[in-house]
A and B are shown apart, each in its own frame.
Chain A
Amino acid sequence: MSAAMWIHALLWLVGLLLLIAVVTVMGVWWERKFIGHLQRRRGPLHHGFHGLLQLPADMVKMISKEDIVPDSADPWLFQIGPLMVVVPAIAAMAALMFAPGFGLLDMNHGLFYIFAFQTLLPLGFAVIGWSCASKFTLIGALRAAAQLISYEIPMLLAALGVVVAAGSMRLTDIINAQAGVWYIFKEPLGFAIFGIAVLAEMNRTPFDLPEAESELVAGYQTEYSGMKFGFVQLAEYSVLFTGSYLVSALFLGGWNMPFLPASPLWLLLKIVACMTMTMWFRGTFPRLRVDSLMSLSWKWLLPIALVNIMAVAALALALPGIY
């Protein structure tokens, strides 16, 4: 590798970390503000302009809090748990493309890479929950593992429909293929399945069973205090960002906009819209039951996703110009 490539990679690394920090800070702020307004409250208001300094204050506090390791916890796994969630969540972001040629790595299997790292998340959650030796964290972790694994399959199958239609796994190709018609109009069924499955992958309401506050205290992160808890939150918001990116890139046309020139701005706008959508769901919907969560995935989403991918393949063969 040449020096220029190293500098490119380093710059992108710093940029991505900054992006994650900004996404977390602004995401939490916007979430608290938006959910507050959904409930006719005001949300953070008095610290900084409309509560913008709220998150920095929270972070300062979290960094300075006591770091508790429970007596019964497995000390090594307990320490490494948050890392096992943060690292895949951040690594998955390396393949994101923000404009043609503007991204850390324009891999020809970018989509595959992102899904591969997202698949590692349940392992991290399981380690977090197992290491604490607490009932709440254990139940939360098992729920997280079960949910993430069972929703991965419909998600991958729905994404496969897009790959079949675009003929490539490179994110740039997939987005450029939507310069005319977005895939949400070509594959509405795939979009619905992908949206539901991604919502479950991100542990968002109505699929937030792993951290169900009313049943499991705080789910798998119950025993974490201070910045370790902050790291888990960081991972959650990175996953939220990646999921919103995937929805906007695979189905909503990425940087394309009808009648307007392509620009990364549209992509960011779509990502923010997707994130706001999940927050809107969170402010509205109740939580699913565990068994109906499982039956939704295995009995409904999976067969429909299979039908969807076959239909897309057949259409792609029959109408090569359109699909």
Chain B
Amino acid sequence: MGVVDDAEQPGFITTTLDKLLRWGRSRSMWPVNAGIACCSLEMMTTGAARYDFDRFGIMFRSSPRQADVMIVPGPITKKMAPIVQRVYNQMAEPRWVIAMGSCAISGGTFVDSYNVLPGAETILPVDIYIPGCPPRPEALLYGCLQLKKLISETSTIGSSRKPMYVPPVLPEEWPLELLGEYDALEAGAVWVQPERDSPPVTPLGDAESAPEDEL
């Protein structure tokens, strides 16, 4: 949902509106109240008295229609995948996804399992990755502040739909709902069963692509 879809040359009013929207959206992120696994306990802790999400206007809404952010707190099993995907589809644009914890980032310790997806980005367009197992509440708050920064840096001019990912070959084990224009058929990551008997020294998937300036 942009200010105007496909604006060629944004005028003064458009850019002012854009600034206002970015200000409003980044300061009012309501996550949908959906816990998947153990990371959701840490998510609740962050909402409770000691860390208090509400200081930043982050307020859990039970209904995905009224939520803006989906925090994926845990491994997505094949059985859970259609439900996670349906909750994401029920959210109104603009929407964002936070992958919280190692399981939501890459499958974590369950990645060799027969029924866990290798990360939330297999089906959802993830914006922020918060590593940890589970991340400390401060780490989650830091991740939310990173998302706030991302939202206030993202231009709202032009179309910014973020559809769900659908793999080019639909998996048989977990039935995804196809919703027509709300799917991104080409963007989906293909789900591959990882090798199970790996040698001790495993070449990491994309270790070469890691930025050099970390640490």
Q: Which residues of A contact B (CB under 8 A)?
A: 32, 36, 39-47, 51, 53-54, 56-61, 64-68, 213, 217-218, 221-226, 229
Interface: B92 (CB within 8 A): yes
Give which listed residue, A32, A47, A66, A221, contacts B92 with CB less than 8 A: A66
Give which listed residue, B52, B65, B68, contacts A61 with CB less than 8 A: B68
Could you tell me if A41 and B1 are in contact, using CB atoms closer than 8 angstroms? Answer: no
Smallest Cβ-Cβ distance to B1: which chain A residue = A66
Q: Give the distance to chain A from B158, nearest Cβ to Cβ, in Å.
A: 14
Interface residue SS majority, chain B: loop
Smallest Cβ-Cβ distance to B151: which chain A residue = A61
Could you tell me if A39 and B68 are in contact, using CB atoms closer than 8 angstroms? Answer: no
Could you tell me if A68 and B55 are in contact, using CB atoms closer than 8 angstroms? Answer: no
A-B contact pairs, 13 of them (CB 8 A): A32-B59, A41-B48, A42-B52, A43-B54, A57-B23, A57-B27, A57-B28, A61-B25, A61-B68, A64-B3, A218-B62, A221-B66, A225-B66
Residue pairs across A and B with CB atoms within 8 Å: the count is: 96
Give the residues in chain A near B94, CB-CB below 8 Å. Answer: 64-66
Interface: B133 (CB within 8 A): no
Could you tell me if A218 and B61 are in contact, using CB atoms closer than 8 angstroms? Answer: yes
Q: Given contacts A46-B55, A57-B23, A64-B24, is CB(A222)–CB(B63) below 8 Å?
A: yes
Could you tell me if A58 and B57 are in contact, using CB atoms closer than 8 angstroms? Answer: yes
Roughly how many angstroms separate A229 CA and B64 CA in the complex, as a whole number?
12
Could you tell me if A65 and B27 are in contact, using CB atoms closer than 8 angstroms? Answer: no
Give which listed residue, A60, A66, A223, A229, contacts B93 with CB less than 8 A: A66
Could you tell me if B65 and A45 are in contact, using CB atoms closer than 8 angstroms? Answer: no
Q: Give the distance to chain B from A295, nearest Cβ to Cβ, in Å.
A: 28
Could you tell me if A44 and B57 are in contact, using CB atoms closer than 8 angstroms? Answer: yes
B residues 1-35 in Cβ contact with A at 8 Å? 1, 3, 20-21, 23-25, 27-28
Q: Give the distance to chain B from A168, nearest Cβ to Cβ, in Å.
A: 44
Could you tell me if B54 and A53 are in contact, using CB atoms closer than 8 angstroms? Answer: no
By Cβ-Cβ distance, the 5 closest A-B pairs, closest first, are A60-B24, A57-B27, A66-B92, A225-B92, A218-B63
Give the residues in chain A near B66, CB-CB below 8 Å. Answer: 218, 221, 224-225, 229
Give which listed residue, B20, B25, B54, contacts A44 with CB less than 8 A: B54
B residues 114-170 in Cβ contact with A at 8 Å? 156
Give the residues in chain A near B20, CB-CB below 8 Å. Answer: 60
Q: Given contacts A224-B66, A226-B92, is CB(A64)–CB(B1) below 8 Å?
A: yes
Could you tell me if A64 and B25 are in contact, using CB atoms closer than 8 angstroms? Answer: yes
Interface: B56 (CB within 8 A): yes
Give the residues in chain B near A218, CB-CB below 8 Å. Answer: 61-63, 66
Could you tell me if A58 and B28 are in contact, using CB atoms closer than 8 angstroms? Answer: yes
Could you tell me if B23 and A222 are in contact, using CB atoms closer than 8 angstroms? Answer: no
Q: Give the distance to chain A from B86, nearest Cβ to Cβ, in Å.
A: 13
Give the residues in chain A near B52, CB-CB below 8 Å. Answer: 36, 41-43
Could you tell me if A54 and B28 are in contact, using CB atoms closer than 8 angstroms? Answer: yes
Could you tell me if B49 and A61 are in contact, using CB atoms closer than 8 angstroms? Answer: no
Give the residues in chain B near A213, CB-CB below 8 Å. Answer: 62
Q: Given contacts A40-B49, A60-B20, A61-B28, is CB(A32)–CB(B54) below 8 Å?
A: yes
Could you tell me if A223 and B65 are in contact, using CB atoms closer than 8 angstroms? Answer: yes
Could you tell me if A65 and B57 are in contact, using CB atoms closer than 8 angstroms? Answer: no
Give the residues in chain A near B49, CB-CB below 8 Å. Answer: 39-41
Roughly how many angstroms separate A42 CA and B49 CA in the complex, as a whole number?
8
Q: Give the distance to chain B from A284, nearest Cβ to Cβ, in Å.
A: 15
User: Which of B24, B49, B56, B90 counts the most A-chain CB atoms under 10 A from its CB?
Assistant: B24
Give which listed residue, B56, B59, B62, contacts A217 with CB less than 8 A: B62
Give the residues in chain B near A61, CB-CB below 8 Å. Answer: 21, 24-25, 27-28, 68
Roughly how many angstroms separate A213 CA and B32 CA in the complex, as a whole number?
12
Roughly how many angstroms separate A248 CA and B66 CA in the complex, as a whole number?
34
Roughly how many angstroms separate A213 CA and B28 CA in the complex, as a whole number?
20
A-B contact sample (10 more), CB < 8 A, given A44-B54, A225-B92, A226-B92: A39-B49, A42-B55, A47-B56, A58-B28, A60-B23, A61-B24, A61-B68, A65-B92, A218-B63, A224-B65
Give which listed residue, A32, A51, A54, A221, contacts B63 with CB less than 8 A: A221
Q: Give the distance to chain B from A212, nearest Cβ to Cβ, in Å.
A: 10
B residues 65-91 in Cβ contact with A at 8 Å? 65-66, 68, 90
Could you tell me if A222 and B65 are in contact, using CB atoms closer than 8 angstroms? Answer: yes
Give which listed residue, A45, A60, A221, A229, contacts B21 with CB less than 8 A: A60
